Amino acid sequence: MKQTELRGHTLTAAVRPVTPTQREARAASTGGEPTLEFDDRVPYDVYTHASTLHQLQQPLSDDPGEMSFLMVSQIMELYFGLTRYELLQAQRLIRADRVWDALAPLRRAGLHLEALNAAWRGLRWMTPADFNRFRDLLGEASGFQSAMYRQLEFLLGLRDAALIRPFRRQTDVYAELRDTLAAPSLWDDVVALLARQGFDIPAEVLERDVSEEHEAHPGIEAAWVRVYADSGPENHLRMLGDALTEVAEQFGDWRWEHVKAVQRTMGAKVGSGGSAGLAWLQRSMARVVFPELWSARTSM
């Protein structure tokens, strides 16, 4: 049995699934009061691993503000993973030409990104003086080194092979990032879908090296202009465009919130991971997610 299957089997057995009838019978026997006695761990903890999660905050200083910084960073990591999960579901459905079904995970991804953006509010209190109280203890640790964020960027089509180099000593992480770079991005699969739907997508776009970052092409832009020309209720491609636009916009908002957070806490200081900090982030903002969805609006 695979390890993931084993974990799932163990988890299911520990949680003890019940039927609606059993729930009703239990509520009747307790007079509607919650169950207070269990043979082992509380089922909620078995399912969510909450006790484990709350042991993962190990600040390096006694400064109370560091706990906010650490926990918000961990929350963002979870949202990176959750958003990637939804986008992979959408990608699988798009490859199968199930456009309507792909809308649900894309819309969920947009909402997850909105929640991710809200996490920045938990750090809005931080000034340079606040950050400097514990920053030196972080050493070279930097959000630039988030493997899950790189996975999300690569899936959205923002690709740079050099950015996986920090993970070479983490062989499993490195292999997963390399595999993601070698596979089509979500946008690559959307463009391939347009071609299958009869739009004139040039061969050089469909046959390009997907490990390289996508460059905007007028043929793809023209296809989206045609898609949006049909405002009928059955135009699932237009709905797909809207859902993708929301994902791109929310992701862009996260990047902008990152820029503002760095401005607020560091100014133009050198980044902890060795980059130029604010200047590097500002340059990266020029790389656009799903570029033809935006440029097509000029011709609509």
Determine the Cα–Cα distance for residues 187 and 171; give it in Å rounded to an integer: 27
- 286-295 burial string, b = 16+ CB within 10 Å, else e? eebbbbbbbb
Token pair, residue 298, equals: 């000029």
Q: Give the dihedral of Cα atoms 6, 7, 9, 12; nearest 10 deg.
A: 180
Cβ atoms within 10 Å, residue 157: 22
How would you classify residue 288: left for phi > 0, otherwise alpha for psi between -120 and 50, otherwise beta? Answer: beta
Cβ atoms within 10 Å, residue 241: 19
Determine the Cα–Cα distance for residues 286 and 280; give it in Å rounded to an integer: 11
Rg (the chain; Cα; Å):
23
Residue whose pair of structure tokens reads 């990152």 in the numeric block: 258
Phi, psi of 230 (to 5 degrees): -95, 105
How would you classify residue 159: left for phi > 0, otherwise alpha for psi between -120 and 50, otherwise beta? Answer: beta
Determine the Cα–Cα distance for residues 226 and 129; give it in Å rounded to an integer: 53
Strand blocks (E) in the chain: none
> Does 135 show up as a binding residue in the annotation?
yes
> Does 49 show up as a binding residue in the annotation?
no
Binding positions are 135, 258
| Binding-site residue ranges for heme | 258
